[in-house]
Chains A and B, each alone.
Chain A
């Protein structure tokens, strides 16, 4: 167990290091990094000061050291567009992104898990068919398009029925604003959960230990919800660990589509405004969030599967 966790934590740290290295290399590969911050109107003094802060007169490995040092302090330099420290801009945006991520996660669990279980238990039923459609659309439709289609349907086509306030298509002014973005972002995950859980449940329900549990006189409901679900969740969690990345990717897209003022939207704004200092900070923070989420999935995994806990 300890070895398992240690390995995971180590991997998380190496991942962060790798991302920082990529960002550093790219900032140098793009040309003189000073051009990013300074323009023709800057004085020689400005140039010299920046040279010293970035350590441009030193060898590359020392420059990386300086970069890493300030990154650890949360200092990623000034955002060009905003004219204030990148970290400051980011901190304001974190709550919105977390809120959306959690809502999407909740949606994917609320839809994906029961539908996955039921379509395994009642194989071939109407519910199973419906689940199949949800899963196929979720895995094939691009997230950005799905979002736009939902906006089109709810805000344009069916506007007469829903009105503007029930499911507002843009911004984050009202509580109900989160519905459309969360559904869009959660759909892919719901589909993946559904598919995985269905096939895992089918395997488990067919297993000898479920047969034995039934032979003990355990009722059908307890067989499904206690004996089977816990085993079936193992592959689902593995998947969650591997593809949490798509939640990050998705939030970039969904926040852009729905004008949701979070980190994802910020990243795209930084891209559009050539704001490298801001983008690098967003990327680091995103990776940090992602790595932390993956790590907590690993811990949960160990909790559910005793074979990992005790080895």
Chain B
């Protein structure tokens, strides 16, 4: 677990307020993200956790303004990156910010590199777009970045194509693309799911080092609480398009206050315990086009009360920096 500063006083770089992203589909409006608010400080790591379909990936795409339109649309809210609202920007302004100030590291290293371009080409592209520098310097910068992510023999590797590299190496290249223009905010979307455990650990360590070296605000999107424990300072737990609980990692692990968080934590197998039964959450996540009134987790919740079925729970503070949306805290 990180020994991070519990009291982070660094300036806020990203402030998301009331973000709503809806999709128009044949079956009706899907409220994939429905009123999400959080902020991120410089040098801080925020984990966003949830099952697939909880809205964490759409949140990430909204922050990058990469929602496919149509059918998707950011209908409400603000995304303030150092004070400028990304929601209000036009395409041209946004593509200047994408990759340079806010960057992305994608889920699957096997499919996230373009098979027909060389590594050097793909890493250099972001640099060329965002920085007005001569070609020679671009090559130099590419090599620097590749060395930063510990790619051995970077000079020869730049000419390689993705299919000539191992999964771990490709993931590092994706990471290199992410940090190539020294962004303020870096979003990592389950960057290690398809890697094996040792390579995963190495990569996470590298990511942490890079973040600390350049004081980047890092958003870590995952469904794995084990990784959250290793990487993050704060966690937001998402369910059905909303944040149901948010707080410091230790608070969440020690006092999970939303039944969903509790269930997620219980489903993480722990080595020191005797694993004769794996915990799993009963039932399916709700379909987002047909949400019940009241708390969307209610049908799967073991503590369900009448009130839960009627009104969506308010946010209740557990501590100063820890809140959850559950009527049990009332």
Contact = CB atoms under 8 A, between A and B. Distances in A.
Q: Do chains A and B touch in the complex (CB under 8 A)?
A: yes
B95 A219 contact: yes
Nearest to A306: B161
A307 B114 contact: no
Interface in B73-112: 91-92, 95-100, 103-104, 106-108, 111-112
B161 A310 contact: yes
A217 interface: yes
Given A208-B111, A306-B161, A307-B163, A214 B116 contact: no
A216 B104 CA distance: 8
A207 B66 contact: no
Which has the most chain B C-beta neighbours within 10 Å: A214, A230, A310? A214
B158 interface: no
A211 interface: yes
A47 B102 CA distance: 87
Interface string B94-138: 011111100110111001111111100000011001100000000
A214 B98 contact: yes
B125 to A, nearest CB: 6
Contacts of A305: 115-116
A163 to B, nearest CB: 47
Interface string A33-65: 000000000000000000000000000000000
A208 B118 CA distance: 16
Contacts of B114: 209-210, 213, 227, 231
Contacts of B111: 207-209
A310 B97 CA distance: 36
Interface residues of B, number: 32
Interface string A251-275: 0000000000000000000000000
B115 A215 contact: no
Contacts of A304: 116
Contact of B98 (A209, A210, A215, A231): A215
B228 interface: no
Contact of A215 (B64, B91, B113): B64
Contacts of B100: 217
B161 A217 contact: no
B177 interface: yes
A119 B103 CA distance: 30
B164 interface: yes
A217 B129 contact: yes
Contacts of B177: 212, 216
Given A216-B129, A310-B161, A211 B116 contact: no
Contacts of B107: 208
A295 B104 CA distance: 41
A231 B66 contact: no
A209 B130 CA distance: 19
Given A209-B114, A212-B112, 4 more contacts: A215-B106, A220-B95, A227-B117, A307-B161
Q: Give the 5 A-B residue pairs with the shortest CB-CB distance, closest first.
A: A217-B99, A215-B104, A216-B99, A217-B98, A216-B126
13 contacts: A208-B106, A209-B114, A210-B114, A211-B66, A212-B106, A212-B112, A214-B64, A214-B66, A217-B99, A217-B126, A220-B91, A305-B115, A305-B116
